[in-house]
Structure 1
Amino acid sequence: MDAAVVATPAAVIINLAAYTDVSGARQQNGDKDGSCYRINVHGAGNVARACARAGKHFVQVSTDYVFEGDRQGPYLETDDGDARTDWYGVTKRDAEDLIKQADVGWAIVRLSFPYQQHSDRKPDLVRRIAEQLHTGTITPMFHDQVITPTFTDDAVGTLAEVARTGAHGVFHAVGPEWLSPHEVGVRVAQSLGLDATAVPSSSLQDYIDQGGRPFPKSLRMSRAATGSALNQPVHCLNDALLLPGWDF
């Protein structure tokens, strides 16, 4: 690790590595020897300490899941993570706490439900909805959960500006609006010229009550401080979907 960090001419190291299988993480709940905790917490700590020894600026890519999602107001950049239920969120919360205490120049950039125009990998929320609409396999979407969908190009722009300026602190590379997953589904259908009433809705609370995985219910992410500090433009979902070049 140290050799690789020292060898690169880069002055800033961005840690994108993470165990991101949220359902798989739940199977490791409470296991600090499991791969999820070791990658997300110990792995991030190892990179941060290597950056400290090499005099590099360290940027940790984090997530809105560091929050429990049980309050109505927005989560601010100054809020510490309070995830308790979701193990993936707990591991990313612990990573943030570790990095804030590390003897290194650091920034933490939290992402939230990123979506992109092109992808050969696992489909994100928007692309999965589009695929299901095209194939007539759309599943019910929660109307009582709140998320902050984020256009990936905007998130990358925020990361690039943090790296360029060597900014310190916590930043929210998130979209400008709060929507339910069902509202996202309706907007994607409309952008494709399809019948938005074909997007069925369901209740997250009913899903949890019936034994489903307890997703965070309210992830209203504020980007007010980030917007003031970095002045990076962001797209609302409708505007992003109107951009040319979508491949679904």
Structure 2
Amino acid sequence: MHDATLEWPLVAATGMTGMIGRRAKELFPELGWDSLGVDITDQSAVDAAVASTRASVIINLAAYTDVSGARQQHDDIDAPCFRINVDGARNLAAACARSGKHFVQVSTDYVFEGDRAGPYLESDDGDARSDWYGVTKSLAEGLIKQSDGGWAIARLSFPYQQHSQRKTDIVRRIGAQLKTGSISAMFSDQIITPTFSDDAVGTLAHIARTRAQGVFHAVGPEWLSPHQVATRVAESLGLDAATVPSGSLKSYVNAGGRPFPQTLRMSSEATKSLLNQPTHTLSEALRLPGWVF
């Protein structure tokens, strides 16, 4: 939601080639979205890059997001997952504090263990223990909250987009599998908060433009199981939703599969009251034109 009464600051960001970065540049070109091309694990290089950019807001979109790869690095603070997610975020926050620039860390619902009925609130601290990716992102949040400079944390949850030539997501992956008849059993005993990427980008842009401080949930307005996500995608494609096979996360884990957070009900009530950013349900987003599965 554009507010003509506010001046557009210049934003520089890491990770601009990812889903959120590419869409942010398309939807909000007024923010500039200069790419902060720097090795974020190198503190000296980060200090120099942050000090030299004209941007007044720095957004960290860079992250090690391979959750399976992260599992293999559990407790290894010298491995890429920890170095990028923890050291990198700490370096950027420190550099922004020294340069007087507003820092925005893009985080994840995986900072939570996912073992409570929820919902998880913006005021909740991360408590991830089992998932190393989630642990590293939670540690990064804790460090940023201790920063001397202005900061914000925006937690995202299962973002999906209408089209992309680079990366798939849960919604488009399901759509592609449904169209080819290759859909696998979808968990019915897991709860997630699917988020339309344009809504998440809108929240990030609002945070940058207002230099808002604190923790925000840039997430969708509803909680669904992956099986419910699949049935809604099937309906949008004119397919029989009753044919979507149902599976169990608990059974999958008991059989030796990689554990996932069980219940990630992310509340965005506090964020909505502060930023007034509209969001789409999955069904509403699927009715928009331009979907490519």
TM-score (norm: length of structure 2) = 0.84
The 5 A counterparts of 1:148-159 are 148-159=193-204
Provide the C-alpha distance between the structure 2 equivalents of 1:162 and 1:4, rounded to a whole number of angstroms: 22
| Residue 119 (structure 2) pairs with residue 74 (structure 1) | yes
Provide the C-alpha distance between the structure 1 equivalents of 2:291 and 2:236, rounded to a whole number of angstroms: 11
Provide the C-alpha distance between the structure 2 equivalents of 1:198 and 1:152, rounded to a whole number of angstroms: 28
Provide the C-alpha distance between the structure 2 equivalents of 1:141 and 1:34, rounded to a whole number of angstroms: 32
Provide the C-alpha distance between the structure 2 equivalents of 1:246 and 1:13, rounded to a whole number of angstroms: 31
| Residue 273 (structure 2) pairs with residue 228 (structure 1) | yes
Cα deviation, residue 7, structure 1: 1.8
| 2:107 counterpart SS class | strand
Identify which of 11, 32, 50 aligns with 2:77.
Answer: 32
Provide the C-alpha distance between the structure 1 equivalents of 2:206 and 2:255, rounded to a whole number of angstroms: 44
Provide the C-alpha distance between the structure 1 equivalents of 2:93 and 2:146, rounded to a whole number of angstroms: 10
Cα deviation, residue 198, structure 1: 2.1
Aligned partner of 2:128: which letter? A
Identity %: 74
Contact 2:196 2:280 in 1 (8 A): yes
Cα deviation, residue 30, structure 1: 1.1
Aligned to 2:169: 124
Aligned to 1:47: 92
Structure 1 runs (4+) greater than 4 angstroms displaced:
none
| 1:79 counterpart SS class | coil
The 5 A counterparts of 1:1-248 are 1-248=46-293
| 2:289 counterpart SS class | coil
Cα deviation, residue 2, structure 1: 1.6
Cα deviation, residue 119, structure 1: 1.0
Provide the C-alpha distance between the structure 1 equivalents of 2:289 and 2:252, rounded to a whole number of angstroms: 36
Cα displacement string for residues 51-103 of structure 1 (whole angstroms, at most 9, x for unaligned residues): 11111000000000000000002000000000000000000000000100111
| 1:206 counterpart SS class | helix
| 2:256 counterpart SS class | coil
Higher RCO (Cα < 8 Å, 6 or more apart): 1
Provide the C-alpha distance between the structure 1 equivalents of 2:84 and 2:165, rounded to a whole number of angstroms: 24
Aligned partner of 2:162: which letter? Q
Contact 2:172 2:292 in 1 (8 A): no
Cα deviation, residue 209, structure 1: 1.0
| 1:184 counterpart SS class | helix
The alignment's C-alpha RMSD in Å is 0.7
Provide the C-alpha distance between the structure 2 equivalents of 1:133 and 1:80, rounded to a whole number of angstroms: 37
Provide the C-alpha distance between the structure 2 equivalents of 1:206 and 1:219, rounded to a whole number of angstroms: 18
Cα displacement string for residues 220-242 of structure 1 (whole angstroms, at most 9, x for unaligned residues): 00000000000000000000000
Aligned partner of 2:254: which letter? D
| 1:159 counterpart SS class | helix
Cα deviation, residue 177, structure 1: 0.3
Provide the C-alpha distance between the structure 1 equivalents of 2:190 and 2:236, rounded to a whole number of angstroms: 22
In structure 2, runs of 5+ residues without a counterpart are 1-45
Task: Report how many residues are paired.
Answer: 248
Cα deviation, residue 202, structure 1: 0.4
Aligned partner of 2:229: which letter? V
Cα displacement string for residues 179-208 of structure 1 (whole angstroms, at most 9, x for unaligned residues): 000000000000001111221110001111
Provide the C-alpha distance between the structure 1 equivalents of 2:106 and 2:118, rounded to a whole number of angstroms: 23
In structure 1, runs of 5+ residues without a counterpart are none
Cα deviation, residue 122, structure 1: 2.3
Provide the C-alpha distance between the structure 2 equivalents of 1:94 and 1:127, rounded to a whole number of angstroms: 31
Aligned to 2:22: none
Aligned to 2:9: none
| 2:155 counterpart SS class | strand
